[in-house]
Chains A and B, each alone.
Chain A
Amino acid sequence: MRIGSRLHPTLEVDYTPMIDMTFQLIAFFMILINFDAAENSDKIQLPVSILAKPPEAPAEVAITVQMDEKGRPIMAGQTYPSPADIRPILDLERETLEQRGQSAAIATIIIRGHKDAKTGVIQELIKVCQEARFEKFTLRAQEDLQARP
């Protein structure tokens, strides 16, 4: 039996609006994506502050050290038992800076401490960083959304 082409007409679907919309969605998500936040541990619940605002300019050299609830520092995704254990990494960071002709004094240590961490352990962490010749510190807090105007 011969089936004529007239029995199966080809349907042409116009993909243009769908592709337009999909590319817009991709652009939207690409703009929103923040790879810096990817290394921030989900375990850390930052303390909130009504004054917490993102800095106007990023630090020239920023080294992020996180501190979990139990007082264990986290650097580059690895958890260490105590603040003293990150000293070799800090020394390595300083040596890298010195090889580039920069000093440790220009680097900013960003401390992302869990809200329930002991202040004494945070101070120990600062002391270890000071001993590694870092001088500038920032304590990171989360914006208090209830205080937003």
Chain B
Amino acid sequence: MAVHIKKTSGTAKIPIDMTPMIDIVFQLLTFFIMTLKIAAMEGDFNIKMPLSAIAAGDPDEQMPPIKLRLVATNDGSCGDIIMNDRSFGADGWKALHQEVASLVQDGSLTAEAEVELNCDYNLKYENVIRAITAVSGQRQPNGDIIKMIEKIKFAPPKPPPTK
């Protein structure tokens, strides 16, 4: 079979059908746009709770934990914040934060100190995160976080209130 090569002046232009590629590319683009989910960043607060510590106290415990009691109202809001028998009131997160900051001001207790959260059964979970935020650190204006108390644990759970 004779192959006829057309001789032209300069380079020959080969027409490429772009349609299928553009179809696929636009389908991909549509897929990515539709599956995109814009969500705020999430962060973690570590708590270490081995089961053995419940049964027979933690042998590594150097100093007694700071006991933080969160009292719930009937609707689950925070009714009172009590740290080591001192009440900070229902909305005393700032005062609690300042109190904990004064306890660990030089940073020497940061790794050693421990907070034990004792919460009412019906307390809304957001209050637990507020309490952990208040005791575990503070955010500097530049966005850096200064750690205060890293060891956080829960007291044994309370039974649900009887109606």
Contact = CB atoms under 8 A, between A and B. Distances in A.
A and B interact physically:
yes
Interface of A: 15, 18-19, 22-23, 25-26, 29-30, 32-34, 37-38, 40, 46-55, 67, 105, 110, 113-120, 122-124, 126-127, 130-131, 133, 135-143, 145, 147-149
Given A47-B126, A139-B129, A149 B141 contact: yes
A116 B72 CA distance: 12
B90 interface: no
Given A118-B121, A145-B40, A47 B154 contact: no
A130 B51 contact: yes
A29 B43 contact: no
Contacts of B121: 118-120
Interface residues of B, number: 55
A48 B32 CA distance: 28
Given A32-B36, A138-B47, A52 B157 contact: no
B50 A29 contact: no
B50 A135 contact: yes
Interface of B: 18, 21-22, 25-26, 28-29, 32-33, 35-37, 39-51, 54, 70, 72, 76, 119-130, 132-133, 136-139, 141-143, 145, 154, 157-158, 160
A127 B141 contact: no
Given A51-B145, A122-B125, A142-B40, A15 B47 contact: no
Contacts of B26: 22
A55 B43 contact: yes
Contact of A55 (B22, B44, B123, B137): B44
B126 A50 contact: no
B158 A138 contact: no
Contacts of A38: 35, 37
16 contacts: A19-B25, A22-B25, A22-B29, A26-B28, A48-B129, A51-B145, A55-B44, A115-B129, A119-B124, A136-B48, A139-B47, A140-B45, A142-B43, A143-B41, A143-B43, A147-B139
B140 to A, nearest CB: 8
Nearest to B159: A120
